[in-house]
A and B are shown apart, each in its own frame.
Chain A
């Protein structure tokens, strides 16, 4: 099992600009499905049962974690990063959808495996409890999850998972109703960008663009707002399905990822103060529209493939 495969089977690729909501005083934009949902779908198609729990009582949450650790079961925890002590200060915003794995306890230090770290780390009990009960939007409330039953996984299950994952992702990106999610969400954002300079003033508009870049290239995206990750998934999927058409479409996502990065460079010009004209904002908006077209065509191609059931 690899990261791209898990991402693709869970239909991870997405785009949404959540209306009205602001995060760190900027627009709330996401390039992927909620990680919990990706995990859930992937486990379901692999026939793995996952138990998840939230707590209103801090002591109960600690006791439950201790018990699972004693049983030797590694558990996933949703945490907020603001109080996460081993994170560099520059990255510590009030962001609550970070996940880590507690795999053991030594003395009073919990052993932690964090996906953004190259190495494992530790947290004391008060530190861990604090991040598990971070507050604000999407507060984790001690959210904890672990696999219950693991059955042997066959290639056939993976193939089925891939096909249903692709089909669901096509639905999420091009058939989703409304104008602020899926590929149409990119157009929605693009239209906003055109208005930002006049509406918000140059300073705030450039901060908003900075926010988009940070969401797109945040640690753990694999670059290009997850587009490269999806490209890698399609490449692996092609090998499983023995279908070259799929790996050809993978190229389209590589292109989309590159286009996202190109527009990030352009946006950087604005928040560095090099580009200040309205026409620069128009150009960025046009770049997003081009990206949208590439993604839309790629998903339409995926939709027209007959991948079996």
Chain B
């Protein structure tokens, strides 16, 4: 990549940082240059977030329709999957899958709910009363 080709497209990094890139200068030697961002990259990030938001919305609907427990919604909201949530709560994925069912979720003890609430950064009340 030549130095003059280094993209300077605005993106999520504005007001945060610029990134170091290795580019060729006029003499054909490598040197570092700072880039504000690259459109191609910003779009990759945007499309990833579009997907995340669609998944969150889908999860919200599922909770609303009584198909899934609130844990499913908060799991998507915090971008977690089963192994990650399992790490934060200490529950085995097998049990978490069970807790995603509304009927089983309704019978969970406050102690177990508290573990989920800490992992999701919400209060137990918020977790219990989430209706979609």
Chain A residues with a Cβ under 8 A of chain B? 4, 24-25, 82, 87-88, 90-91, 93-94, 116-119, 135-137, 139, 206-207, 210-211, 213-214, 217, 219-220, 222-224, 228-229, 231-232, 235, 250, 254, 257-258, 261, 264-265, 267-268, 271-272
Chain B residue with the shortest CB-CB distance to A204:
B51
Contact of B19 among A116, A137, A250 (CB under 8 A): A116
**How far apart sit A25 and B51, CA to CA, in the bound complex (Å)?**
10
A264 near B47 (CB under 8 angstroms)?
Answer: no
Residue B122 at the A interface, CB < 8 A?
no
**How far apart sit A91 and B41, CA to CA, in the bound complex (Å)?**
12
Chain A residue with the shortest CB-CB distance to B16:
A88
CB neighbours of B19 from chain A (8 A): 116, 219-220
Contact of B44 among A82, A135, A223, A271 (CB under 8 A): A271
B47 near A232 (CB under 8 angstroms)?
Answer: no
CB neighbours of A271 from chain B (8 A): 43-44, 47
Chain B residues with a Cβ under 8 A of chain A? 1, 12-13, 16-24, 29-30, 34-35, 38-41, 43-45, 47-49, 51, 78-81, 83-84, 86-88
| Interface of chain B, main secondary structure | mixed
B18 near A224 (CB under 8 angstroms)?
Answer: no
The 7 closest A-B pairs by CB, nearest first: A135-B87, A136-B84, A232-B30, A90-B12, A228-B22, A210-B44, A213-B44
CB neighbours of A4 from chain B (8 A): 22, 30
14 sampled A-B residue pairs with Cβ under 8 A:
A4-B30, A25-B81, A88-B12, A90-B12, A93-B79, A94-B80, A116-B19, A210-B44, A214-B45, A228-B30, A231-B30, A232-B22, A235-B29, A258-B1
What is the distance, in angstroms, from A210's C-beta to the closest C-beta of chain B?
Answer: 4
